[in-house]
A and B are shown apart, each in its own frame.
Chain A
Amino acid sequence: AQSVAQPEDQVNVAEGNPLTVKCTYSVSGNPYLFWYVQYPNRGLQFLLKYITGDNLVKGSYGFEAEFNKSQTSFHLKKPSALVSDSALYFCAVRPDTGRRALTFGSGTRLQVQP
């Protein structure tokens, strides 16, 4: 069975500073990894994915994430945070074979202070 851990319930960062939202995973086989963002009163929006290839993937709104196989991590990063980045972020994983549904972490609330 697969699982995702997001160890921080909330991350606080000042506007203009770099941000990191942590994610570690467990899956049998090769992982497909995803980040989604949920703004208040809105549905989940896809940010980025890692399927294969370059370990550093770039996504929407200036976000990027680095796949680290040895540490089974897929941390979300952004060089300079914006107040508008404040939202709930979910990491998700699915295996490359078997059940196709995503397994999500519990979410991390990002608060960017002006």
Chain B
Amino acid sequence: GAGVSQSPSNKVTEKGKDVELRCDPISGHTALYWYRQSLGQGLEFLIYFQGNSAPDKSGLPSDRFSAERTGGSVSTLTIQRTQQEDSAVYLCASSPYLDSFEAFFGQGTRLTVV
């Protein structure tokens, strides 16, 4: 597609349930990033992938969060046993390579934990 695509655009889930958020980066982009944007907050880095290298997971807030990237393209962010504080907009971005200076963002998935 023309841009970074994220699905679903909105997700409401019950506390304690697991959720999966999907990101389709721009074709050919080797670097992929996940960020979280909480209400009134800036963007919080979660994880990034670069090609076949080990991902940088240093921003994941707890072991309930995990992400994978299959075939160097699509990525899935999984949150297990969701908590209300996980409610946020989850943004995915991609760039042509890790040292490319411009990241292209998707429109995000708004997660609400009730």
Q: Chain A: residues with CB nearer than 8 A to chain B?
A: 4, 6, 32, 34, 36, 41-46, 49, 51, 90, 92, 99-107
B65 within 8 A of A: no
Contact status A105-B91, CB under 8 Å: no
Q: Which residues of B contact A49 (CB under 8 A)?
A: 101-102
Q: Once the chains bind, are A43 and B106 in contact (CB under 8 Å)?
A: yes
Q: Taking the complex as formed, is B25 at the interface, i.e. its CB lies under 8 A from any CB of chain A?
A: no
Q: Are A99 and B91 in contact (CB under 8 A)?
A: no
Q: Are A102 and B31 in contact (CB under 8 A)?
A: no
Do B91 and A43 have beta carbons less than 8 Å apart? yes
- In the complex, the answer to whether A101 meets B42 with C-beta atoms within 8 Å is no
14 sample A-B contacts, Cβ–Cβ < 8 Å, listed by A number: A6-B42, A41-B107, A43-B3, A43-B91, A43-B108, A49-B101, A49-B102, A99-B56, A99-B58, A100-B31, A101-B56, A102-B43, A103-B45, A106-B41
- Measuring CB to CB, which residues of chain B are less than 8 angstroms from any residue of chain A? 3-4, 31, 33, 35, 40-45, 48, 50, 56, 58-59, 91, 93, 98-99, 101-108
Per the bound structure, the CA–CA distance linking A14 and B57 in Å amounts to 43
Cross-interface CB contact of A90 among B3, B42, B59, cutoff 8 Å = B42
**Closest A residue by C-beta to B98:** A100
Contact A107 B59 (CB under 8 A): no
With A43-B108, A101-B45, A105-B42 already in contact, 19 other A-B pairs whose C-beta atoms are closer than 8 Å: A4-B42, A34-B102, A36-B105, A41-B107, A42-B107, A43-B107, A44-B105, A45-B105, A46-B102, A46-B104, A51-B101, A90-B42, A100-B31, A100-B48, A100-B56, A101-B59, A102-B33, A102-B43, A102-B103
